[in-house]
Structure 1
Amino acid sequence: MNPIDNYIATFPATTQKLLQQMRETILNAAPNAQESISYGMPAYKLNGKPLVYFAGYKNHIGFYATPTGHKAFEAELSNYKQGKGSVQFPVTEPLPVDLIKRIVVFRAKENNLRL
């Protein structure tokens, strides 16, 4: 198994499904992104620059799209608990896949502009 698979496997089955869905959503939105583990969580880079990160927790999935990704979608993310540069999606609710996809596409465009 690769490091991302190993990371996801450490969580309960219901959380694993959400983490795998998060991973697939990111890779579908940014197919050229490189996966790794950084800061102890799945991390994605595009053109050598950070794109997004995610992490599993007991009660939520953390999503980190750097400050620009959160700022650009501030209104849509306002329904979720947030921290500095992070948003928390409860494990008791479906992931907002379309919103996550749009944030990743936004971040990918930003990274591509900084080539």
Structure 2
Amino acid sequence: MGGGFGPRLYSCYKCKNHVSFHDDIISKAFQGRSGRAFLFSHTMNIVVGAKEDRRLITGLHTVADVHCGDCREVLGWKYERAYESSQKYKEGKFILEKSKIVKDNW
């Protein structure tokens, strides 16, 4: 396939399951556990884990790890709740770690 037909996608680096569209990236200026991470408005084919409060660089958030729907690899997390008003825009959004996703159909 490839050749730019259809939308540009990101896939799980392990099993190549499609997990997000390039067009859903809000920001590339995030840090994950293992380096650079992207903030997405939507994801697909993922499983959201249990919610927990986690203190991140930008303050306290309620987050849930997100796993690939096929191989269950942890790809990042979902922001469920932000306690700082300046961080509210992240609620309901997803972090996917750059090291855990690969470009597909570019």
> Is the TM value for this pair above 0.5?
no
> Which structure has more RCO (C-alpha within 8 Å, separation ≥ 6)?
2
What is the TM-score normalised by the length of structure 2?
A: 0.28
Larger strand fraction of residues: 2
Larger helix fraction of residues: 1
What is the TM-score normalised by the length of structure 1?
A: 0.27
